[in-house]
């Protein structure tokens, strides 16, 4: 790969992408269009499905629930409005009404009350896990502000990347080997 050339001229990166990704032909011109462009999408554009039947195939999988001990919550991680993947562009999240910070944990008001907390309290998020040695271990993300929010009772939400410390390094998806950053069982401890 011509890394030095890529670093010096991003158009060369787009030229390389155009050579291999269907729908990205003439990528440098398309990417500069004021309204951007849409990549080809067979099912959307032509109702074509690359399956043995030529139709969309659906499957049903049983739902599994994460066992949650008393006094714990299931944490989902999410991105804010001003975030694209791991790049954070601002500290406000207009989707959820959060302003000026990201170290917040969104908790159903009934759970806030059940745990003896108040909106605005500062807490640490603590995950508990075993890593094959049979012993219980903890990981901690410190100093989050409690925000009452309409999460389902028994669930909480906080921003990714701030919650990365809660995920054990070997807690990964079977096929992709990516960190499993949803359905993390946590407890809240006052900071």
Mean pLDDT of the chain: 91
Range of the domain at 130: 73-190
The count of domains in the chain is 2
- In this predicted structure, the answer to whether residue 156 has a pLDDT above a threshold of 90 is yes
Of 33, 32, 56, give the one whose Cα is nearest residue 44: 56
Is residue 103 situated within a structural domain?
yes
CB 30 within 8 A of CB 37: yes
Same domain, 184 and 105: yes
Alpha helices in 32-93 (DSSP H): 42-45
Is residue 65 situated within a structural domain?
no
- The pLDDT score that the predictor gives to residue 174 is 82
List pLDDT tens digits, range 66-102.
889 999 999 999 999 888 888 898 898 988 999 999 9
- The pLDDT score that the predictor gives to residue 35 is 86
Is residue 62 situated within a structural domain?
no
Same domain, 23 and 113: no
CB 135 within 8 A of CB 59: no
pTM: 0.72
């Amino acid at each position: 790969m011509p890394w030095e050339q890529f670093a010096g001229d991003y158009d060369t990166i787009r030229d390389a992408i155009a050579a291999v990704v269907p729908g990205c032909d003439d990528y440098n011109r398309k990417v500069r269009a004021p309204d951007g462009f849409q990549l080809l999408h067979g099912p959307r554009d032509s109702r074509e499905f690359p399956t043995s039947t030529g139709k969309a195939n659906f499957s049903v999988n049983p739902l599994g629930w994460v066992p949650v001990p008393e006094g714990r919550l299931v944490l989902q991680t999410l991105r804010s409005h001003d975030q694209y993947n791991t790049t954070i562009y601002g500290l406000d999240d207009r989707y959820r009404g959060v302003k000026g910070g990201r170290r917040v944990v969104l908790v159903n008001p009934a759970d806030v009350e059940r745990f003896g907390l108040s909106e605005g309290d500062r807490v640490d998020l603590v995950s508990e896990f075993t890593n094959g040695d049979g012993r219980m271990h903890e990981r901690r993300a410190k100093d989050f502000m409690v925000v009452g929010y309409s999460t389902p009772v028994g669930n909480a939400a906080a921003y990714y990347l701030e919650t990365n410390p809660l995920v054990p390094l070997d807690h990964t998806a079977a096929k992709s080997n990516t960190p499993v950053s949803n359905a993390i069982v946590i407890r809240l401890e006052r900071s």
